[in-house]
């Protein structure tokens, strides 16, 4: 039995998946820089790891909303992962009065978003940008202060940053 060509090799990340809500076969669509799977029946979308950023930009990236200050609750999700059949978690993402419940797979890190949830999570990500920017600025100021204490005389940059921080 000679080995045949590798033509039958399946790329598991690109195989057709079924909607975890209504079991319709999902179709691959191009969004931004990514090819994601969308259900034509319910409008739900599945994002593989990294695809939230690639498809929708930085405000959709988990680094903007998957933070302790945005975590409402975690529970078992009623659906299984359409990609790997793994266990999914229902995560509540919270910011002020905005609230989105998303389903994410603990095995392949895929994220399931029902229709409309992508817009809502991006809105939260956008609001988090100010807080994230402020954190970065604070970290830079702290760093400047540290080097300020280590070195004398006080650096002009540290004083500039302190002024800048006050203004904001």
Q: Does 42 bind Zn ion (CB under 5 A)?
A: yes
- Rounded CA-CA distance 149/126 in Å is 35
Among 17, 64, 104, 110, binds Zn ion (CB under 5 A): 110
Residue number with CB closer to Zn ion (108 or 131): 108
63: number of CA atoms within 13 Å, CB side? 8
- Rounded CA-CA distance 141/165 in Å is 8
Q: What DSSP designation does 22 have?
A: T
For the beta carbon of residue 131, count every other beta carbon within 10 angstroms. 14
Closest approach, Cβ 85 to Zn ion, in A, equals 7
- The token pair at 85 is 């059949």
- Rounded CA-CA distance 167/146 in Å is 21
Q: Does 21 bind Zn ion (CB under 5 A)?
A: yes
Residue number with CB closer to Zn ion (105 or 128): 105
- Rounded CA-CA distance 120/100 in Å is 7
Q: Does 41 bind Zn ion (CB under 5 A)?
A: yes
Count of residues binding Zn ion (CB under 5 A)? 15
Among 79, 84, 131, 141, binds Zn ion (CB under 5 A): 84
Q: Does 90 bind Zn ion (CB under 5 A)?
A: no
Among 17, 36, 39, 128, binds Zn ion (CB under 5 A): 39
Closest approach, Cβ 74 to Zn ion, in A, equals 16
Residue number with CB closer to Zn ion (43 or 154): 43
Residue number with CB closer to Zn ion (28 or 142): 28
Confirm if 79 and 91 have CB atoms less than 8 A apart: no
């Amino acid at each position: 039995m000679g080995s045949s060509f590798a033509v039958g090799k399946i790329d598991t990340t690109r195989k057709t998946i079924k909607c975890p809500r209504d079991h319709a076969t999902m179709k691959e669509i191009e969004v931004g820089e990514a090819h994601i799977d969308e259900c034509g029946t319910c409008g739900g979308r599945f994002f593989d790891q990294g695809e939230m950023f690639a498809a929708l930009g930085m405000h959709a990236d988990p680094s903007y909303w998957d933070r302790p200050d945005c975590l409402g609750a975690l529970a078992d999700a009623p659906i299984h992962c359409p990609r790997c059949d793994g266990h999914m978690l229902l995560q509540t993402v919270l910011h002020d009065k905005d609230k989105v419940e998303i389903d994410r797979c603990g095995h392949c890190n895929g994220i399931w978003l029902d229709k409309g949830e992508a817009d809502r999570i991006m809105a939260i990500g956008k609001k988090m940008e100010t807080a994230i920017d402020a954190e970065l600025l604070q970290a830079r100021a702290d760093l400047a202060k540290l080097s300020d204490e280590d070195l004398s005389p006080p650096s002009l940059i540290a004083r500039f940053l302190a002024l800048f921080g006050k203004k904001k």
